[in-house]
Structure formats: C-alpha cells, structure tokens
C-alpha cells in the first residue's frame, strides 16, 4: 500500500497552543491518593507527593493540568481542602460513591503542579453550589491580600497568590448523572452570571463554559447553541468531552472513531461562528477539549462494583489497562487535534494517574508508563509549533461511523525555532505495510531524518508493573531523505514519528 503526502511551508492551519497537550487529575479512585499523594511511599517528598510520579509527569511535558474534577467537582466544597489536615472533614463523594478525606486540597495540588512543571486549570462547582462559592474560591486563589479569603490563604501558609488564569465554569452540566444537572437555559444563565462576577474580580481570566459530554447526548448540539447564546461575550472557550470504546473488538471501526471526533469539532466550530455572527460579538470563543481518552476496558466492571461497595476511600476505579491498539487510537486522536488546532486550543487527556491514565502506580511500589503514555509524550514534546495543512493521497476504507477513512492518519508540525518538521503517522491497515512518500516544499534544505516507531504484533499487548516496557518506542528503520523527498515504510498497524531537520 502506498501513500503520497505533500507538506508546503505556506500551507498552514494554525500556531498550535501548547495547552493542546494538557492533562486532567480528578479526586477519583486512586488518582490523588496513592496516585500523586502517598506520604508513606519511599519516594514521597516533604509534601507527601510521590517523586517517582512527578518524574513521569515531567517527562510527559504536559503544560496544564485540570483539577479537581470532573463529576467530583459538582458536589465539592473547596473550603474542605484548606487548613490543618487533621481538621479537614471527610465527606461522601456522591459522584463516585466514595469517601474523600480532603488531605489533598488546593495548597497541596498547587505545590504538586509546581513540582510537576504544569500550570493549574481549575474548575468551580456549579452543580451543588453556584456563583458565591466560585467567586470566593477565585479570590482565595488569586487575590494578593487584604480580603477575607486571601488573608485566609496567607494564614494557611501561602503568601503569594497562585494567579491561576484558566477556570472551568462547572463540569458536564448537560449530563443527567451530574450532581446539580441543569437544562441548557438554566446553566447558560448561571454560567453567564458567574462569569460576569469572576470578570468583575479580574477581566483577564480565561473562562471555559460547558459544552456537551459527548456528541451522542440527546441535547447535542442544541446545548452548545443555547449555552453560547447566553454566555458568548463572557467566555473564552467551550468545553467538549469524548471517550473512545471498542467493546465489539472491531479495530477498523474503533480506529475510524476520530472521524466522529473531527465532525464533533467541526459542528461545534460552526455553532461558535453562528452565535458570534448572531450576537455581533467581537470576541472569538474556541474549544477546550478538556476530557478525551480511551475508556471502556474496566467501565462495565466499575459500574457494577460501584453499586456493591459502601463508601471506600480511594478504591481502584477506572483503572483501564491500555494496550497497543490504544496507542494507535491515541495517535489518531492527537493528530485530529493538531489538524483542528485553529479551533481546538486546549485539550486534556483524561486522566493523568491511575484513573484512565497514561501513568500507573502500585501503592508502596513502582510507577510505570502505560502504552498510551508514548504517543502522548511524543506529540507533547515534538508537536509544538505550526500545524501544517498536508495534502494526503492514500487508499481508504468505509466504516459504519464514516465513509472514506484514510488508512494513513497523519499530522505535520513545523517548529521554526528548532528547525524541525515532524510527522505523526498511524497506519490503520492491519494487513499491509504502508510506503509513504512525503514531498517537503519550501522549508529549506533538510539534512537528517529520525524515525521513531511503536509496533507490536499483538494489538492486546500491555505494559504492567512486572513487564513495564513491553510496548515502547524504538528506532524505526528505513526512513530516507533524498533532496526534498522523504520516504518511510510503516509496518501494518503501527505508529510512527518522523522528524526531519
């Protein structure tokens, strides 16, 4: 099978916002407790945070981390997580039917984020609470001093404000499962009033209003239109979520799902334009795709277990073990975001540690990289710069979700500072290798080429605590540069990063 690609320096999509490689950490399962925080762990730092996990997060190079939820935030009292730890209340978490000790709150998370070299993206509770709790939280986090909440922060040991710019106005408020779920009109009104109050405090904040939890929601896409008509001038981003499943074990259908993602982004992009025109608005709202990942391996088991247990603290929950097939999927998802980077400015892999996550930990034991760690890391490290509008000519197949799914999924990024041109490519064909020929035009003379390959003959191959390096990138063979022509051969069902300089 052959594919022909043209990359030209003048054919560009957008400068990629680095926050496209964001992440997400929720008070859910073992994400926080025995995930990032385990005071008795041999690697724990002075704050009780696992250094081994911090190292893996730093290597992942994720510029922002959304916190503290997720469904959790919709019944969360942020004040429970401040002050002396032994005086913090244990609460029942209604979203996940667990107990929350509140031993980690905003102070601990902020310290962790600094150590992990990531910026905080914070969510306020617009489910069980509203404008008042939100404005108090923002004042606590961002005001220098001389007010009740900022002075309390100082008393609790943090003199300087954290100056968090990016705030989510609730989470998945379209979902009937959400504590305090609302209609689009109710939520639009509340989000607008909350945004106005937060802007009265600081009009430089970046505010994210909730869009749909997924594109199969009955309220999609009217939800986006109604919510944006209520909030357009007050917000900067509309949030979208999507999780990917392969219950049928049908790889061709599974790997076609990013076409559905692409349509979802295109539709919401159109609604943004429509509302902007209708309101004669001067600002431009963009998409924050702040929850995405593969999520199905443990989902049904978890739903059953949650009905059976009492209120455990930090049980194993949503601990999907990812396989090699998921590497291909995550590669295609990230490529879709790069190709849509004109409208998708922020995206967060959901989540970061233990809970549907690229990083796993054993309590008291080691931390390791799941298979999907690698395509995320490669895109996050090398996918910064300008997204290129590639011309791609390759064979395609028809799937139920979409006709004409290219066997080659490819995105190109030009980093003019580093002088690199990098292609991220997935061969969706499980039977045949793909010979790719890329014509590189207008970038000046390329001198060297590097090829990184992720390939396993078993789509179900995983990384485990005992065998943590079963699936990992290796040096690819056979990428060649001849003048302005780059050729590379990709094995059937494989992921490649090819970089020229």
Catalytic residue annotation: 172, 291
The full DSSP string for 80-109 is GGSS-GGGSPPEEETTTTEEE---S-HHHH
Report in angstroms how near the CB of residue 96 gets to ligand AHR at its nearest. Answer: 8
Name the residue with the smallest CB distance to ligand AHR.
70
Binding status of residue 115 toward ligand AHR by CB under 6 A: no
CB 441 within 8 A of CB 484: yes
Binding status of residue 98 toward ligand AHR by CB under 6 A: no
Question: Interface mask (CB under 6 A) for ligand AHR, residues 336-365, using x and -?
Answer: --------------xx--------------
Q: Which two tokens stand for residue 15?
A: 């400068």
Report in angstroms how near the CB of residue 26 gets to ligand AHR at its nearest. Answer: 5
Binding status of residue 171 toward ligand AHR by CB under 6 A: yes
CA-CA distance, 238 to 491, in Å (whole number)?
Answer: 38
- Of 291 and 326, nearer to ligand AHR (C-beta) is 291
Report in angstroms how near the CB of residue 351 gets to ligand AHR at its nearest. Answer: 6
CB 452 within 8 A of CB 484: no
Distances (CA, A) of 356 to 221, 230, 488, 490: 26, 33, 33, 28
Binding status of residue 215 toward ligand AHR by CB under 6 A: no
CB 346 within 8 A of CB 288: yes
Which stretches of 315-365 are DSSP H helices?
Answer: 324-339
Q: Could you tell me how many residues of this chain bind ligand AHR (CB under 6 A)?
A: 10
| Binding residue (CB under 6 A) for ligand AHR from 23, 34, 62, 71 | 71
Report in angstroms how near the CB of residue 73 gets to ligand AHR at its nearest. Answer: 8
Identify the burial level of 487 via C-beta atoms within 10 angstroms of its C-beta, where 0-12 means exposed, 13-18 middle and 19 or more buried.
middle
Binding status of residue 377 toward ligand AHR by CB under 6 A: no
- Of 79 and 291, nearer to ligand AHR (C-beta) is 291
Nearest by Cα to 104 from 161, 54, 66, 47 = 47
CA-CA distance, 463 to 370, in Å (whole number)?
Answer: 6
Binding status of residue 212 toward ligand AHR by CB under 6 A: no
Burial call 383-412: b when 16+ CB within 10 Å, e when fewer: bbbbbbebebebeeeebeebeebbbbbbbb
CB 413 within 8 A of CB 384: yes
Which positions from 267 through 326 interact with ligand AHR, judged by CB under 6 A? 291
Report in angstroms how near the CB of residue 24 gets to ligand AHR at its nearest. Answer: 7
Binding status of residue 69 toward ligand AHR by CB under 6 A: yes
Whether the bond between 353 and the residue before it is cis, its omega within 30 degrees of 0, is no
| Binding residue (CB under 6 A) for ligand AHR from 22, 29, 48, 70 | 70
- Of 7 and 190, nearer to ligand AHR (C-beta) is 190
Stretch that binds ligand AHR, among 63-71, 111-119, 279-287, 459-467 (CB under 6 A): 63-71
Residues near ligand AHR, by CB under 6 A: 26, 69-71, 171-172, 213, 291, 350-351
């Amino acid at each position: 099978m052959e594919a022909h690609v043209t990359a030209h320096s003048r054919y560009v999509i957008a400068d990629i916002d680095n926050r496209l490689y964001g992440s997400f950490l929720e008070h859910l399962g073992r994400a926080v407790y025995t995930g990032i925080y385990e005071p008795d762990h041999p690697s724990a730092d002075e704050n009780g945070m696992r250094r081994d996990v911090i190292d893996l997060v730093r290597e992942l190079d994720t510029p922002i981390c959304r916190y503290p939820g997720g469904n959790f935030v919709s019944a969360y009292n942020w004040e429970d997580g401040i002050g002396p730890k032994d005086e913090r209340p244990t609460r029942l978490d209604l979203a996940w039917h667990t107990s929350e000790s509140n031993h980690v709150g905003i102070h601990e998370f902020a310290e962790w984020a600094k150590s992990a070299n990531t910026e905080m993206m914070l969510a306020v509770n617009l489910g069980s609470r509203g404008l008042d709790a939100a404005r108090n939280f923002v004042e606590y986090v961002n005001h220098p001093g001389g007010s009740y909440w900022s002075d309390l922060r100082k008393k609790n040991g943090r003199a300087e404000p954290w100056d968090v710019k990016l705030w989510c106005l609730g989470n998945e408020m379209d979902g009937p499962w959400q504590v305090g779920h609302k209609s689009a009109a109710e939520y639009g009104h509340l989000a607008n009033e909350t945004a106005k109050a937060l802007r009265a405090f600081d009009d430089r904040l970046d505010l994210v209003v909730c869009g749909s939890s997924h594109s199969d929601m009955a309220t999609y896409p009217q939800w986006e239109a109604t919510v944006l008509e209520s909030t357009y001038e007050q917000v900067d981003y509309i949030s979208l979520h999507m999780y990917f499943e392969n219950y049928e074990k049908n790889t061709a259908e599974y790997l076609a799902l990013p076409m559905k993602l692409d349509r979802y982004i295109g539709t919401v992009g159109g609604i943004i334009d429509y509302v902007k025109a209708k309101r004669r608005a001067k600002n431009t709202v963009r998409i924050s795709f702040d929850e995405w990942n593969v999520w199905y391996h443990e989902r049904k088991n978890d739903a059953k277990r949650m009905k059976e247990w009492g209120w455990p603290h930090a049980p194993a929950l949503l601990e999907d073990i990812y396989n090699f097939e998921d590497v291909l999927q995550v590669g295609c998802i990230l490529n879709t975001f790069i190709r849509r980077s004109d409208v998708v400015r922020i995206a967060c892999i959901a989540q970061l540690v233990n809970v549907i996550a690229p990083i796993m930990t054993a309590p008291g034991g080691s931390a390791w990289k799941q298979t999907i760690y690698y395509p995320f890391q490669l895109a996050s490290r090398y996918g910064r710069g300008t997204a290129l509008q590639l011309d791609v000519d390759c064979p395609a197949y028809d799937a139920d979700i979409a006709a004409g799914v290219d066997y080659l999924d490819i995105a190109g990024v030009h980093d003019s500072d580093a002088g690199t041109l990098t292609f991220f490519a997935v061969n969706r064909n499980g039977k045949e290798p793909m010979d790719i020929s890329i014509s590189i035009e207008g970038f000046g003379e390329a001198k060297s080429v590097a090829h990184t390959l992720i390939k396993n003959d078993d789509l179900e191959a995983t990384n485990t605590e005992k065998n943590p390096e079963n699936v990992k990138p290796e040096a690819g063979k056979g990428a060649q540069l001849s003048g302005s022509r780059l050729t590379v051969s990709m094995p059937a069902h494989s992921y490649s990063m090819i970089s020229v300089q």
